[in-house]
Amino acid sequence: MLGAFALATFLLATAGVYGVMSFSTSQRSHEFGVRVALGVTRGDIVRLVLGDGLRLTISGVLIGAVVALPLMQLLRGLLFGVTAADPLTFLIVGIGLVAVSAAAGYLPARRALEIKPIEALRLD
């Protein structure tokens, strides 16, 4: 039961990260068009979009880990097979969330590459 809830939470987090990244990228289409018109490479645009998302994700994972450590002491009686501050569990979950964030940010980054500079400059 706990695994099913964890999977549902993981899928909701993936959908949330994708939605935020997609919205943010669509709001910045004018900026990307100007950057491409000024000579920024496609790789720079992808790094910009993914970098913004990953920066937020990594800071969220670090804040979450700091907040979760004391709260895990409250759940100590419900844990079986791991300690309350199991570093391997925190590491695997953190890496998983960063990987999901990178994958969720990849599609919006690819969409940002499809923006034609002349079309972006026409938008108001």
Q: What is the pLDDT of residues 65-97, one digit of tens each?
A: 888 888 877 777 776 766 767 788 788 888 988
122 confidence band (pLDDT: 50, 70, 90): confident
Which one-letter amino acid corresponds to residue 41?
T
- Based on its alpha-carbon atoms, the radius of gyration of the chain, rounded to whole angstroms, reads 19
Domain-wise residue ranges, the chain: 20-122
DSSP per-residue string spanning 41-100: -HHHHHHHHHHHHHHHHHHHHHHHHHHHHHHHTTTGGG--SS-TT-HHHHHHHHHHHHHH
Whether 53 and 104 have beta carbons less than 8 Å apart is answered as yes
Whole-angstrom distance, CA of residue 53 vs CA of residue 103: 10
